[in-house]
Copies of this chain bind each other. A is one copy, B any other.
Amino acid sequence: MTRKPLTEDSILKRILASCRPLSGSGVRQSIAVGIGDDAAILRPTYKCETILTCDWFLEGTHFLRHKHPPDSVGWKCLARAVSDIASMGGTPRCFLLSLALPASLTGPWLDAFLAGLRRASRKFGCALAGGDTTRRDDVLINVTVFGEVKTGRAVLRSGARVGDTLYVSGRLGEAELGLRILKQTKKPAPATNPLTRKHLYPEPRVALGRWLSGARLASSMMDISDGLSSDLPRLCAASRVCARLELARIPGVRVPKEASLEGIDSTRLALHGGDDYELLFTVPPHLVQIVPVSFQGVPLTSIGTITRGRNLVILEDGGRKQELVASGWDPFRNKL
């Protein structure tokens, strides 16, 4: 089958047709005017603040065209940005998609990409409201998410206080191990493996973030996207505090007993692995007893304490103390 050469307008129409939200699903309520005009018009909710975030998702930097299935690219580009809304305790409302791609990918690749994007859009209740498309040799994606939170209720990175307990959701290092398995595998993507699934189809912790904000449990919060050793110092810097991490308490990935994974250090993965999109948050001392051991099946684990000082993270390993060196993912240092 030959296709007519696509124009920017015809690609926009296909994106719109694929991602049109289900009527009556509720996700459209904040969109007054969507795709097809110069910009989207949104109706802010009364007594809410707007949360705005944007996120790169670039071929070669954040994903590999021959390793990452297109529907995972569609899912993950939105999930990553939605995670920034979750990490402030907000609710995602809608998103803008900026997509640049080669003419050769405007057929089945684009269809599968849009299928993944649509699944994510419905799962997160976050509707497509607009965007920009252009042609490029590599696939370039930038996603902007518009979210909302009750005025004054956003949980910032800067709210941690000395004495607060540090918590993390889920298990850390799973997505990094999933990426390694993906890279080792000859075939495109073993979608049944839970570790590769965590890398390919991450689930931002929206419900947990909303609950922590609504119950006023968390004094500070952020998502772990670049790895605990890179992200925790950012939270400490924003709050002008120090942290003491207990190595033995960090819930690391369970490494399967396979020959190909021998020698992999779960602790290193948990400290430095990126892409987990778990929440890192602090809880004041008098509220610690209210924190459940898990929320909707996701474990919540206390991994340390906020201490006096500036920017430093101390790793406590059975009495031995050492400074934690940021070794998570940094695009100016690492390659995928």
Contact = CB atoms under 8 A, between A and B. Distances in A.
A61 B7 contact: no
A11 B158 CA distance: 20
A5 interface: yes
A61 B134 contact: yes
A130 interface: yes
B54 A156 contact: no
Each complex incorporates copies of this chain amounting to: 2
Given A88-B37, A140-B140, A142-B54, A7 B44 contact: no
A32 interface: yes
A50 interface: yes
Interface in A86-120: 87-88, 90, 96, 98, 100, 103
Contacts of A55: 98, 132
B32 A96 contact: no
- Residue among A51, A222, A234 with max Cβ neighbours from chain B (10 Å): A51
Contacts of A33: 154, 156
A37 B129 contact: no
A126 to B, nearest CB: 13
A43 interface: yes
Interface stretch (A14-22, A246-254, A327-335): A327-335
Given A37-B156, A130-B53, A157-B37, A136 B58 contact: yes
Interface string A30-49: 00110011111111100011
Interface residues of A, number: 66
A216 interface: no
A303 interface: no
Contact of A56 (B56, B129, B132): B132
Interface stretch (A144-152, A193-201, A257-265): A144-152
Nearest to A60: B136
- Residue among A38, A56, A145, A157 with max Cβ neighbours from chain B (10 Å): A38
Nearest to A149: B41
Contacts of A98: 54-56, 142
Contact of A50 (B11, B50, B332): B50
A6 interface: yes
A9 B130 CA distance: 29
Q: Which 6 A-B pairs have the closest CB atoms?
A: A39-B53, A44-B44, A142-B142, A134-B331, A42-B50, A38-B84
Given A58-B134, A103-B332, 17 more contacts: A7-B332, A8-B332, A33-B156, A37-B158, A38-B53, A39-B53, A39-B145, A40-B52, A41-B51, A43-B50, A44-B49, A44-B50, A50-B146, A52-B146, A54-B131, A58-B100, A144-B144
